[in-house]
Structure 1
Amino acid sequence: MVAMAQSAPSAERLRKVDGFLAEAWADLARHDERLRPLAVEVRFDRGVAHLSGEVAGPAELRLVRDLVGRLTGVFGVWCRVGVGGREPVVVDLGCGATKQWPGNLGLDIYPAPGVNAVADLSGSLPLADDSVDVFFAVHILEHLIDFLPLLDECHRVLRPGGVLHVMSPWWRHVNAVADPTHVRLLDVQTFKGICGQRPPGTPRWYPLHVGCDGASIFADLTPLAPDDPAPDPNHLARFFD
């Protein structure tokens, strides 16, 4: 028996969910004394939380990320927050003419108005170790036959505590197969393997948040150091079977 694909939520429902999330976050920020002094703005767009502003240290940013990500209806937590007076270095991978934020550094294999540097994303990235705070890989991984080398490069380039934001078509949605340039199908469970089932000695990731809205999958990953403990099974159970 062939399983029927689930439909994505309507634009109207997503708009109402965004309104619910905004109210829920405002209420939490009013009543949690840890959040009151923080200059972080949280905006919701189709279930994705967009964080901007500035915090004094990485622990404060992690706190906001974790609390926002616990709200029911949040599919991803995308972040552009300054830490300790330093603006984050944010890179859009395969951005073409459109970046997630105008000030991001854009990398793509083809020149375009939004591209700051031409780079083959299936090879080495022209970026130094520990030099980037945030990567966006929006509708990129599904175009790569083997995207693990790109993830390894992101792991190398991200600073400790940095985040890789992934968005790709969900394998059961028509968008995954309608584009003939898509060569990979992805699911939330794909990131279970990325975060826990790779060979010893390969870069490891911690899933900050993973979600699916019925059309796209989202994953917010932060690099683990070689001596960092594995993610807690209770945390992994939030996202993976």
Structure 2
Amino acid sequence: MTEPVSQHRLRLRDEFLQRAAAELFKHDERVRGLDLEVRFDGGVAHLTGEVGDRAQLDTARELIGRLDGVFGVWDRVRVGGREPLILDLGCGGQKQYPGNVGVDLLATDQVSVRADVSAPLPFADSCADRVFLVHILEHLIDFLPLVDEVHRVLRPDGVAFVLSPWWRYVNAVADPTHVRLLDVQTIKGICRRPGSPRTWFPLHAGCDGASIFAELRPVKDDSAEPPGAAHLARFFD
């Protein structure tokens, strides 16, 4: 059984990752000179700043995600001068980034749009650059309709960020409002559901012994190349 990483080790690992990312941006010509900042918190990389085009952001995300000890790569980055539209679903009183659009059924000072995330979302097709699903899926008896709605509202180059308790960690079952248990393999099942037109390309997935993390890109082109076996083997059995 995987034990949760201690807070002391997480802090030291974040320091290591901060130095490794600084060296990456200094020496790797693919990202050198980009107006990006990265901050690590509990093994999650937070990217902010601005790039000229989406390919530059994708490259930076991919390279940072390859660093040993990174559990997730989250970003709020301007692309070509445009602020991203980021939905923070079920945010309650805490959004992941201040500029996100908070969405929740109950009103708080962080909620911009009141909506039931278990129902169709009140957003247009392909409107969002990023969608956060932080500690939300485990509260829904059937979260697949929400996953499908996120697929619908994301742009083709968008990303869904998932964070949920790992099923073998005590917090997953200690909270009586948790009605579903998730594993990294659950993410694999979400990406390729037999008979579903809503498929996903996993950009990253991991587990720190307490939580599972995933970044998923919606596949909206039927002719798109599916992820290869070597790519999937990075994350899934």
1:141-168 Cα offsets, whole Å, 9 max, x none, are 0000111111111111001211100000
DSSP 3-state at the match of 1:240: coil
Determine the structure 2 residue equivalent to 1:89. Answer: 85
Where 2:149 maps in the other structure, the secondary structure is: helix
Alignment partner for residue 194 of structure 2, among 176, 191, 199? 199
1:227 aligns with 2:227: no
SS at match of 2:64: helix
Question: In the alignment, which residue of structure 2 is the partner of 1:213?
Answer: 208
Find the partner of 2:66 among 67, 70, 79: 70
Aligned amino acid, residue 85 of structure 2: V
Question: Superposition pairs for residues 131-146 of structure 1, below 5 Å?
Answer: 131-146=127-142
Separation in structure 2 between the aligned mates of residue 169 and residue 152 of structure 1, nearest angstrom? 21
Offset at residue 172 of structure 1 (A): 0.3
Cα distance in 1 for partners of 2:157, 2:40 equals 23
* Aligned counterparts of 2:6 and 2:61: Cα–Cα separation in 1: 26
1:167 and 2:163 equivalent? yes
Q: Distance in 2 between matches of 1:103 and 1:56?
A: 20
1:200 CA displacement:
3.2
Aligned counterparts, 1:17-28, within 5 A: 17-28=13-24
Q: Given residue 202 of structure 2, which amino acid in structure 1 is its aligned partner?
A: P
The aligned residue for residue 8 of structure 2 is 12
CA contact (8 A) 2:150 2:160 kept: yes
The number of equivalent residue pairs is 236
Secondary structure of 1:16's counterpart equals helix
1:58-78 per-position Cα deviation (integer Å, ceiling 9, x unaligned): 110110000000000000000
Q: Which residue of 1 aligns with 2:182?
A: 186
- Using the TM superposition, give the Cα deviation of residue 199 of structure 1 relative to its aligned residue in structure 2, in angstroms: 2.4
SS at match of 1:37: coil
Corresponding residue for residue 107 of structure 1: 103
Does 2:173 align with 1:177?
A: yes
Compute the RMSD of aligned alpha carbons. 0.9
> Is 101-110 or 68-77 further displaced after alignment?
101-110
CA distance in 2, matches of 1:47, 1:17: 7
Which amino acid counterpart does residue 12 of structure 1 have in structure 2? H
Uncovered stretches (5+) of structure 2, i.e. residues with no partner: none
The yes-or-no answer on 1:157 pairing with 2:153 is yes
* Distance in 2 of aligned mates of 1:164 and 1:111: 23
Give distance in 2, aligned partners of 1:162 and 1:58.
10
SS at match of 2:212: strand
Shift of 1:201: 4.4
| TM-superposed deviation, 1:35 | 1.2
Between the aligned residues of both structures, percent identity stands at 62
Distance 1:210 1:6 in 2: 16
For residue 45 of structure 1, what is the aligned residue in structure 2? 41
Contact 2:25 2:33 (8 Å CA) reproduced: no
CA distance in 1, matches of 2:96, 2:69: 21
State the distance in 2 between where 1:199 and 1:190 align: 14
CA distance in 1, matches of 2:99, 2:35: 20
SS at structure 1 position matched to 2:37: strand
**TM-score between the two structures when normalised by the length of structure 1:** 0.96
Instruction: Return the letter of the residue paired with 2:164.
Output: S
